[in-house]
Amino acid sequence: MRVAQGDAAAIRAMIARKLPRLLSLAHRMLGDASEAEDVAQEAFVRIWKQAPVWRSGKARFDTWLHRVALNLCYDRLRRRRETPTAEPPDHADPTAAPDRRLEAAGVAARVASALQGLPDRQREAIVLCHYQELSNIEASAVMGVSVEALESLLARGRRALRAALADLADI
Amino acid sequence: MTRERFEGLAEAYGGDVTRWPAAERDSAALLMASDSAHAQAVLARAGALDAALNAFAAPLVAPALRDRVLATAPGPRVARWPWLSPAALAAGLAAACAAGLVVGIVVSEGSSAGSNGGAEQVAASTLSLDPTFDLEGA
């Protein structure tokens, strides 16, 4: 792997491809931009460590990387539950002025809060399939469950989200 | 595909059929053709939730984060035993062969023609030794 040999072009290409996806995954899982950045950075440290021994194909690398990032997210969620703070995640204020941009930010904040309210595995399933756009086979491999179990998690998660966001138009 | 299965897929994967499991898309398309109104209503409902979820957009990567990640990346690999690299070994082998050849010439000339001072001097000068020293030693 050229990354393991310190090839600058390969390293930059890896960062360009994977950093946005890792950041996106962690942000949706944690609902916190700063923690998401930390998780993405930590995930890259794991990539660099793993690079010298990596021999498998792209699909298995992505599966491994998603699992690494999710485990880092769960570490943080666990710590958060053990030491609860009064400070909420950095969502926009949903009661902000009815400017169109603020309105969109308000919806985003509502969705972020609703996602945080889901059981972990339901949120994980929705993040992997809806936001990361993994196929059902890929997502079930990352989660270590059958496709049927994944579908059940997705359906229950989406039903809960619909209920939480029921006051938004047409949901 | 039954209505129930169609509804179940929309509930799990959302209102965009292209994101449903590949193996079920053809059956879904057939149902959409034969039961269009119901299928469209199911997809519209699921699509509304998709749209709301999409409002929670992915964050942009800050340049500072990219720099921090880059700073943790491995540097160019430096050989731990540089003299064991293939190029160094090849050069060493070539030098050893050349030295062996020259020494071989000196030894063979010295033993077969001890009185040939001129040859000794040429061989010694090839080795960059003092010919006087060689001659004294002989």
Whether A80 and A102 map to the same domain: the answer is no
Contacting B residues, span 100-119, partner chain A, CB-CB under 8 Å: none
Inter-CA distances, A34 with A19, B2, B61, B128, Å:
14, 45, 12, 70
Which amino acid appears at position A140 of this protein?
S
Q: Quote the pLDDT of residue B41.
A: 96
* Contact across the interface for A41 and B12, Cβ inside 8 Å: no
Position B106 scores a pLDDT of 63
CB–CB contact B74 A51 (8 Å): yes
Do A3 and A70 share a domain, yes or no?
yes
Q: Does residue A111 share a domain with residue A46?
A: no
pLDDT at B130: 35
Q: Is residue B97 over pLDDT 80?
A: no
- Residue A141 sits in which domain range? 97-171
**Which of B49, B68, B72 to substitute to test the interface with A, most A CBs within 10 Å?**
B49
Tell me what pLDDT residue A83 has.
78
Q: Quick one: pLDDT at residue B85?
A: 58
pLDDT, residue B4, reads 95
Q: Count the neighbouring beta carbons within 10 Å of the beta carbon of residue B127.
A: 14
Based on the fold, state whether residues A78 and A16 are members of the same structural domain: yes
Looking up residue A70, the CATH number of its domain turns out to be 1.10.1740.10
A82 with A123, same domain? Answer: no
Please answer yes or no on whether A15 and B70 come within 8 Å at the CB atom.
Answer: yes
Per-residue model confidence (pLDDT) at position A89: 59
Number of domains in chain A: 2
Closest chain A CA to residue B78: A5
Residue A79 sits in the same domain as residue A102: no
Residue B109, pLDDT above cutoff 80 = no
Mark the ranges of chain A whose per-residue pLDDT is less than 70. 1, 56-59, 84-104, 169-171
Task: Give the pLDDT confidence score for residue A57 in this predicted structure.
Answer: 62
Q: Which of the pair, A11 or B109, is modelled with greater confidence?
A: A11
Rounded Cα gap, residues A171 and A164, in angstroms = 10
Last residue of a domain, one of A88, A108, A142: A88
Residues A11 and A28 in one domain: yes
Total-model pTM: 0.73
**Is residue B54 pLDDT above 90, yes or no?**
yes
pLDDT at residue B7, as a whole number: 96
> A19 and B65 in contact by Cβ < 8 A?
yes
Model confidence at B137, in pLDDT bands (50, 70, 90)? very low
Last residue of a domain, one of A38, A53, A88: A88
Mean pLDDT (chain B, rounded): 76
With a CB-CB cutoff of 8 Å, which residues 40-69 of chain A face chain B? 40-41, 44-45, 48, 51
Is there a single domain that holds both residue A46 and residue A107? no
- Say yes or no to pLDDT of B82 above 60: no
Of A88, A116, A132, which marks where a domain is finished?
A: A88
Please tell me which of the candidates B12, B56, B57 has its beta carbon nearest to residue A154: B12
Query: Is A6 in the same domain as A79?
Result: yes
pLDDT digit string (tens) for B13-41?
999 999 999 999 999 999 999 999 999 99
Check whether residue A83 and residue A2 sit in a common domain. yes
Q: What is the mean pLDDT of residues B119-138?
A: 37
In terms of domains, do A69 and A51 share one? yes
DSSP one-letter code for A51: G
Is A124 found in the same domain as A78?
no
CATH number for the domain that contains residue A127? 1.10.10.10
Query: Is residue B65 scored above 80 in pLDDT?
Result: yes
Which three-class secondary structure state does DSSP give residue A56?
coil
